[in-house]
Amino acid sequence: MDYREIGIIRVGAVAPVVNLANPQANAEHILAVYERLIERGCSAVVTPELSLTGYSCEDLFFSSDLLDSSDQALLSLAENTKDVALVVGAPIRLQNGKMYNSAVVCANGKVIGAVPKSAIPNHYEYYEDRWFDSGADIREVVQMDQHEFRLDRNQGFLLGQVPFAIEVCEDLWISNPPSSDHCLNGALIVFNMSASNELVSKLSYRKSLVSMQSAKCICAYVYASAGAHESTKDAVYGGHLIASENGVSLAESSRFSLQDTELIVDVDVDKLQFERRRTSTYRSSEPTSQWSEIPCCSVNALDSTLRHYSSRPFVPSEGDELSSRTSEVLEIQSTGLARRMISAGTESLVIGLSGGLDSTLAYLVCIDALQKLDLSLSQLLPVTMPGLGTSEHTLQSVRCLADATGTELFLLDISKPVTEHLEQIGHDGSLDLTYENAQARERTKILFNLANLHNGLVVGTGDLSELALGWCTFNGDHMSSYNVNASVPKTLVSHVVRWYSANRASAELTEVLNRIVDTPISPELIPSDSDTVGQQTESILGPFEVHDFFLYHFLRTGASVRKLFDISRIAFKDQYNDRELKQFLSTFWERFTANQFKRTVLPAGPKVGTVSLSPRGDWRMPDEVETQRILESIREF
C-alpha cells in the first residue's frame, strides 16, 4: 500500500558537518545528505540556521567574498534539487544594504522562496543584529541571476496539497511565534532551522518549547539545530534535532556528534486536520496576518511507515507512567463518586458484583470514595445475584473479594424469579436474547430497590469498550445512578486492577484480584456444563484489545475505516491475519453504529481519558446511522 493515502508524509531534519565560511563545500555536502534522505522516502528536508555559511561566521558576514560565494552556492544547490523540498539557511542581502538571516526553500531545480528571521537576538551570547535585520515586515522580490523569488515571512509552501511553513530559531522563543499565524493560515508542518547552543539544562527547555508549540498549533514541528562543527570559541552547538506532533514527541536525535546527524519521521497530517476540525477554539482563532501558498513539490510515495502503533493505545508503557496513570484514574473515579454522594445526600453505595474485572474495579472505587468522605465500609453494600449462567468460580471470587475487604456480602439467587418471569411472558425456555436480558434486568431492578431501601446510589460497572460495542442490556446493566467505569476501556481496566493489586492491596486481597484478572471475560447468562466460566465474550465479539484499538483511533485520531484496517495490520502483525482483522473491524463498526441508542441515554459518569462516549460530552451521534456502505467497503479491503 501507499501510506500517503492515509495521510502519512515523511520528512527529515539534518545537522550536517559544516565548513565555516565555505558555502560551496557546504552546498555539496548538503546536497549529498539531501539525496540520501530522498532515498529514504523524505518529501522535505530541513537543515540548520545559516547552514550554507555556518552560523558562527561573525563579522565575515560583512564580507562580499563570503556573501557572493553563498549566493553562488545557493543557486548551485537549488539547481540540483529534485521534486523534494530542501530548506537551507543562507544570508540574503538587498540593494538597500540590509541583510536577512533566511530559510530558503528549493525544489525542482529552483529557489521557491525565502523566509527571513523575524526575532533577531542581541542578548547574552547572541549579537545577531550586528549583521542581520529583522524580516518581520519585509516583502521583497529577490532577483538572483536567473532565479526570482519572494523574501517574505508570511508565505507557506505546498507539499502536494499539504501546507508547510518555516520559522528561524529565535522566532520560536518569543511570546508570539510566527508559526502561530502560519498554522492559523493552514500550515500543518512547521520547520524551524536553528543555531541553539548547548547549556546545562537547556535541552529540556528546548524540547518543551517545540512540544508545546506543536500542541498549541496542532501541527507537526520539526526542528534542526546547528552541529558541533560550528565555532566553539565561546559556545558549543550540539546538532539537536527534534520532531513533535500535537504535543507528542515523534523522535529526537542525540547531540554533540562530530558526524552528520539525521532525523526522519512520518507525520500524520490527516490526524492533525481531524484534531483541528474538532477543536472549536482553534477554528475560532483568526491569524493576525494573511499569507500566500506557493506550490513546491509532490509528496513521495511510501510503501512502509516509521510510525509506531501500539496494540494497546489506552495503556501507557510499564513503569512510572503506568503507575501514575492508573493512580490518577482511580482518583478521578472515586472523586466523582464521592461528589455525587454529597450532592445526592445518600448514605450508602450499592453495587452488583459478578466476580469479573469491571465490577471489581468499580468496587475498589467505592471503597476509595467512602474513604474520601470518612465513611465506614458498612455503608457499602456489595450484592451478588447468581443466576442461570453463574459459575462457581466467579461466585467464589465474589465471596473472597468481600472477605478480603471486610464488607458484608448480600447474596440473592435470581434463578427462580427469572424463570417464573419468563414463564409469565410466554417464553419457551430457549437460550435467546430474551433469556439473557431478563437476568440482567432482574439484577438491575434488585439493585435499584436496595438503593431505595438503604438511601443509596447504584454504582454502574460497565466499561467504555462494552458501551462502544453495545455489550450491555438496555435498561439492565446499562443503567445505574452513576457509572464510574463509563470511560475506562477494557484493556485499561485490567491494568488498573493489576496496579491496585501490586501497590495497594493486602496479601489476601492481592490473591483475589489476581484470580479475577485471570478469569475469562463473560456475561455468564447462559448455563455452563461445569463450574468454570462457560460463555466467553471475546469468542463472540473478538478480542477487546483489537476493538479498543479501533475505538481509540476512530474517536481520538479520526481514522477512517480504511485507515483503521491499515494501521491495525501494523499493530497486530504478529497476532492476527488480514481476514481476522477485517472480521473484527466489521463487528466493531456494525455494533458501534447499531448501539448508539443505548449510549444516547447513558447515566452520568466521570471522564477519565481523552476518549469518552458520553452523550452530554464527547460523542453525539444519531441512533439511525446506515451501516451497509461501510461494511461493504470493509469486505473489499
Out of 42, 49, 106, 490, pick the active-site residue: 49
Which grid coordinates are listed for 454?
438503604
Q: Distances in Å between the alpha carbon of 43 and those of 63, 103, 179, 425, 526?
A: 35, 17, 20, 67, 57
Numbers of helices and strands, H then E, in the chain? 20, 20
How is the beta sheet containing 348-352 ordered, strand by strand? 410-411, 380-384, 348-352, 456-460, 482-483
Task: Determine contact, residues 500/513, Cβ cutoff 8 Å.
Answer: yes
Task: Determine contact, residues 617/607, Cβ cutoff 8 Å.
Answer: yes
Q: What is the dihedral of CA 387, 391, 397, 398, to 10 degrees?
A: 0
Neighbour tally for 146: CB within 10 Å: 9
Cα(499)–Cα(448) distance, integer angstroms: 31
Q: Which of 596, 590, 602, 572 is nearest to 630 (CA)?
A: 590
Q: Distances in Å between the alpha carbon of 195 and those of 325, 423, 619?
A: 37, 81, 45
The amino acid at 230 = E
Out of 57, 106, 169, 472, pick the active-site residue: 169
How is the beta sheet containing 110-116 ordered, strand by strand? 139-144, 147-152, 110-116, 99-107, 85-93, 44-46, 8-15, 261-268
Alpha helices in 289-432 (DSSP H): 320-344, 357-372, 392-405, 415-424
SS3 13: strand
Q: Measured over all CA atoms, what is the biggest interatomic distance in the chain, rounded to whole angstroms?
A: 101
Cα(539)–Cα(516) distance, integer angstroms: 19
Give 515: exposed, middle or buried? Use CB within 10 Å, 0-12, 13-18, 19+: middle
How long is the chain? 637
Any long-range contacts for 211-214 (C-beta under 8 Å, 24+ apart)? 211/244, 211/247, 211/248, 211/249, 212/247, 213/172, 213/177, 213/179, 213/180, 214/190, 214/244, 214/245, 214/246, 214/247, 214/248
Q: How many CA atoms lie within 13 A of 468 on its CB side?
A: 27
Active-site residue 183, yes or no?
A: no
Out of 42, 57, 117, 275, pick the active-site residue: 117
Active-site residue 296, yes or no?
A: no
How is the beta sheet containing 155-159 ordered, strand by strand? 248-252, 241-245, 220-225, 189-194, 162-168, 155-159, 292-297
* C-alpha radius of gyration, the chain, whole number: 31
Active-site residue 49, yes or no?
A: yes
What positions carry a catalytic annotation?
49, 117, 169
